[in-house]
Amino acid sequence: MRKRWNITKHDHSAAEHLAGELGVHRLVAALMIARGHAEPEAARAFLEPSLDHLHEPQLLKGLGEAVERIEAAIRSKEKILIWGDYDVDGTTGTVLLRSVLRILGAETEYHIPDRFSEGYGLNIDALLAAKERGCSLVITVDCGIRSFEPLEWAAENGLDVIVTDHHLSDEERGNPPAVAVVNPNQPGCGYPDKHLAGVGVAFKLAHALLRSAGKEALMPSFLKIAAIGTVADIMQLTGENRAIVALGLRDLPNTRNYGLKALMEVAGCTSEMTSMHIGFRLGPRINAAGRMDLGRHVVELFEAEDFGGARKLAEMLDSRNRERQSEQQRITELALLRAADQGPDPFVVVAGEGWHRGVIGLAASRIAERLYRPAIVLSTENGTAHGSARSVGDFHILRALESCADLFDQFGGHAAAAGMKLPTANIDSLRRALCDYAESEIAEENRIPELSIDARVSSGSLSIGLVRELSRMEPFGAGNPKPVLATKGLSLRFEPKVMKDRHLKLYLGDPEGRRFEAVWWDGVERGKEQTLDLGRNIEVAYTLDVNSWQGSERLQLVIEDIRDDN
């Protein structure tokens, strides 16, 4: 699909000045200015994340009440249940909070719901079972903000609940009944950073508990697990999250946790860690537990008491991830075929009987990316459809669902993604309603994907040294993407080489005889509309990388798009 290139323009004199102030490459300085860090003090803080950049936990509404209730439970030796969501954000948050509570002497157990038999959020049956086992306090992680019926039951039956979450509250009903709600996105919370992950909220609660117990010095050791959940949940890597992730990444190679060591080994993470290692290696393997099997395996992994046991669990997650990849590809291909049958609908809604519910969200992401249209993929069974929605551009997916709320049994999410449950009989009505909504909300010019390019650079400036300079802006991710550069005057030296039937390896050159290797992931599909003729002048948009192999390093361009240079 053709893309609209939007190339950022820079004030070169301002970039030169900031580069001199900071002692950085002028391209880094230009990018810093473009991303809102024009003043030397702000730019220096961005480049040098520290513990000082973590906000005061008590600024979170409800945190004081939560700490007070937990401390009372510890004093009176009550049994505490930690209820975490089954995704990587919820499971890592469960591990973090349970570890801190163990240090403080609390008696805890945990519950990670089965995605398939229980679904998202809290449920009365599991709360009743916990109460019968003697639990008198429940702390949620990454869920609970819209679990009204289960929390009303808990309140009526003497089971105290503390909700820690980061999802949006119900605009009409507000918060569910709870002893305390700790959520930066709840009404009336003045916390300065609204982008904390679920594990980030759990980390803030843990920080406050450790401080109150005189053990605040232990707080930095929990940044590793908080970093994993934050990156894998695709949260904004700006503000406080940037500090959490940068500091956590720095400490990851030094972990003494058997489970994390084994997972890093299985995932091939043996040297310096970046956010990409979490996003593409650790995160998918952790998420595979909840997608393909049981999320509790993640807690078991991180709580393993010896390396042998941890290694077996890590290998199981690795196997589950391979299963996930295969199933995701199969369902994505089927869903794309059904989307093609529906024609150019502005909102894609496709369904399949018995499609694996653990991967429909990933399939929806691929469809939204491939077709550049908001997408819902539904799995139907026994008259009920469970689905995942993904957005594109600035289209707010949750508001779209709210426009036809009467069609759902339940739904929830945020601007970019959502989940839902509805009767199978309502699918056609849902498709019509969402297509009508998208038709009125998405302007024609916004139906062509835009590629944001951070800077146009000459081929003569490309080097491994430039990659090292740009790495000072790590960690990259949502809110601070890896810089996309564009270079004119390049041409193909040889025919593209197809790798694994999907990807392309390109050999490029410039008029001065410089040679560059490039890789285009999914280039076979993404390059269908391109004319890749030998010798033809092209302009390439790409990110820079270093390809390390057997001790040698080579510069590599990772292609985002190609267009004629004219």
- The structure tokens listed for 445 are 């010019």
- pLDDT score for 179: 98
| Choice among 99-103, 374-378, 546-550 with the minimum mean pLDDT | 546-550
- Residue 377: name the closest of 321, 426, 418 by CA: 418
Backbone φ and ψ of 505, nearest 5°: -105, 125
Rg (CA), the chain: 24
Share of the chain above pLDDT 70, in %: 100
Whether 495 is covered by a domain: the verdict is yes
Whether 112 is covered by a domain: the verdict is yes
pLDDT tens-digit readout, 33-67: 999 999 999 999 999 999 999 999 999 999 999 99
Q: 39: which residues sit within 8 A by CB, 6+ positions away? A: none
Judgement on whether residues 467 and 533 belong to the same structural domain of the protein: yes
Judgement on whether residues 202 and 95 belong to the same structural domain of the protein: yes
- Give me the amino acid identity at 73: A
Q: Residue 373: give the domain boundaries.
A: 343-447
Backbone φ and ψ of 392, nearest 5°: -135, 150
What is the 3-state secondary structure of 476-530? CECCECCCCEEEEEEEECCCCEEECCCEEEEEEECCCCCEEEEEECCHHHHCCCC
CATH code of 125's domain: 3.90.1640.30
**Burial of residue 172, with CB atoms counted within 10 A of its CB: 0-12 exposed, 13-18 middle, 19 or more buried:** exposed
- pLDDT score for 549: 81
- pLDDT score for 455: 98
Judgement on whether residues 197 and 129 belong to the same structural domain of the protein: yes
Share of the chain above pLDDT 90, in %: 89
Backbone φ and ψ of 565, nearest 5°: -95, 95
**Burial of residue 271, with CB atoms counted within 10 A of its CB: 0-12 exposed, 13-18 middle, 19 or more buried:** exposed
CB 452 within 8 A of CB 9: no
Whether 395 is covered by a domain: the verdict is yes
CB 453 within 8 A of CB 7: yes
Judgement on whether residues 218 and 111 belong to the same structural domain of the protein: yes
Judgement on whether residues 67 and 141 belong to the same structural domain of the protein: yes
pTM: 0.92
CB 553 within 8 A of CB 546: yes
Region 497-526 average pLDDT: 95
Judgement on whether residues 79 and 199 belong to the same structural domain of the protein: yes
CB 481 within 8 A of CB 511: no
For residue 182, pLDDT beyond 80: yes
CA-to-CA separations, 321 to 54, 259, 267, 366, in angstroms, rounded: 33, 16, 11, 17
Judgement on whether residues 105 and 192 belong to the same structural domain of the protein: yes
CB 514 within 8 A of CB 493: no
For residue 566, pLDDT beyond 80: no
CB 529 within 8 A of CB 476: no
Judgement on whether residues 106 and 229 belong to the same structural domain of the protein: yes
- pLDDT score for 196: 98
- The structure tokens listed for 432 are 């019509």
- pLDDT score for 119: 83
- pLDDT score for 413: 78
Task: Scan for tokens 């697990």, then name that residue.
Answer: 225
Which of the pair, 136 or 172, is modelled with greater confidence? 136
CB 323 within 8 A of CB 342: no
Whether 14 is covered by a domain: the verdict is yes
pLDDT tens-digit readout, 319-365: 999 999 999 999 999 999 999 999 999 999 999 999 999 999 999 99
- pLDDT score for 535: 86
Whether 202 is covered by a domain: the verdict is yes
Return the number of other C-beta atoms located less than 10 Å from residue 453's C-beta.
Answer: 19
Judgement on whether residues 62 and 145 belong to the same structural domain of the protein: yes
Q: 75: which residues sit within 8 A by CB, 6+ positions away? A: none
Total structural domains in the chain?
3
CATH code of 470's domain: 2.40.50.460
Whether 264 is covered by a domain: the verdict is no
Question: Of 167, 201, 235, which closes a domain?
Answer: 235
CATH code of 375's domain: 3.10.310.30
H/E stretch holding 138 reads: strand 135-141
For residue 414, pLDDT beyond 90: no
Judgement on whether residues 160 and 57 belong to the same structural domain of the protein: yes
- The structure tokens listed for 565 are 């240079």
Question: Of 419, 447, 475, which closes a domain?
Answer: 447
Judgement on whether residues 394 and 508 belong to the same structural domain of the protein: no
CA-to-CA separations, 74 to 105, 137, 357, 495, in angstroms, rounded: 7, 10, 38, 67
pLDDT tens-digit readout, 516-537: 999 999 999 888 878 788 988 9
Whether 307 is covered by a domain: the verdict is no
- Rounded CA gap, 400 and 376, in Å? 11
- pLDDT score for 132: 98
- Rounded CA gap, 139 and 90, in Å? 12
**Burial of residue 300, with CB atoms counted within 10 A of its CB: 0-12 exposed, 13-18 middle, 19 or more buried:** middle
Question: Of 210, 235, 260, which closes a domain?
Answer: 235
Whether 225 is covered by a domain: the verdict is yes
For residue 72, pLDDT beyond 90: yes
Return the number of other C-beta atoms located less than 10 Å from residue 133's C-beta.
Answer: 10
548 — pLDDT class (breaks 50, 70, 90): confident
Judgement on whether residues 43 and 58 belong to the same structural domain of the protein: no
